[in-house]
C-alpha cells in the first residue's frame, strides 16, 4: 500500500481534479445523508451522534470493508473520500478508515457551509 493521506471532501464544492489520486464517493456505500436529520445537520462526522447514525446504515461493516480494500489495493499516495457536503459521511469514514489503516486524515471542506 502506497497511500500516505486521506482527505474528505464535499462533492458540491467540486471533485478533486488530480488524476494522481483515488477518489471514492461514499454516497454509493452510505446513501442516507445525516444532513437531512435536523438534529445532526449542524454537527460533523467528528461528532458521536453523527457517527452512530452512519454506523446504523444497512451493511455498514461491508461498506467500510470495501472502502478499506479499495484503498489498500491502491497505488496512489492520496485518497479522497467524498459525500455531498463534506461534513458528515466523508469526514467520519475518513477518520474510521484512516484509523484502520494508520493513515493521516484531513478534511478539505468541513469548514464550508
DSSP states of 41-69 as a string?
Answer: TTS-TTSHHHHHHHHTSTTHHHHHHHHHH
Report the pLDDT value the prediction gives residue 1, as an integer from 0 to 100: 63
Report the pLDDT value the prediction gives residue 38, as an integer from 0 to 100: 96
Q: Which residues of the chain have pLDDT under 70?
A: 1
d(CA 63, CA 97): 11
Domain spans of the chain, in order of start: 5-107
Report the pLDDT value the prediction gives residue 17, as an integer from 0 to 100: 86
The structure's pTM equals 0.95
Q: Alpha carbon of 53 to those of 24, 71, 87, 94: distances in Å?
A: 20, 24, 14, 16
Amino acid at each position: 500500500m502506497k497511500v500516505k493521506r486521506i482527505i474528505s471532501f464535499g462533492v458540491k464544492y467540486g471533485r478533486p481534479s488530480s488524476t494522481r489520486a483515488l477518489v471514492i464517493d461514499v454516497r454509493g456505500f452510505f446513501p442516507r445523508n445525516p444532513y437531512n436529520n435536523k438534529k445532526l445537520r449542524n454537527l460533523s462526522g467528528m461528532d458521536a451522534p453523527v457517527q452512530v447514525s452512519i454506523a446504523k446504515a444497512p451493511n455498514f461493516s461491508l461498506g467500510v470493508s470495501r472502502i478499506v480494500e479499495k484503498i489498500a489495493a491502491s497505488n496512489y499516495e492520496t485518497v479522497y473520500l467524498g459525500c455531498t457536503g463534506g461534513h458528515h459521511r466523508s469526514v467520519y469514514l475518513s477518520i474510521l478508515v484512516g484509523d484502520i489503516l494508520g493513515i493521516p486524515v484531513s478534511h478539505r471542506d468541513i469548514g464550508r457551509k
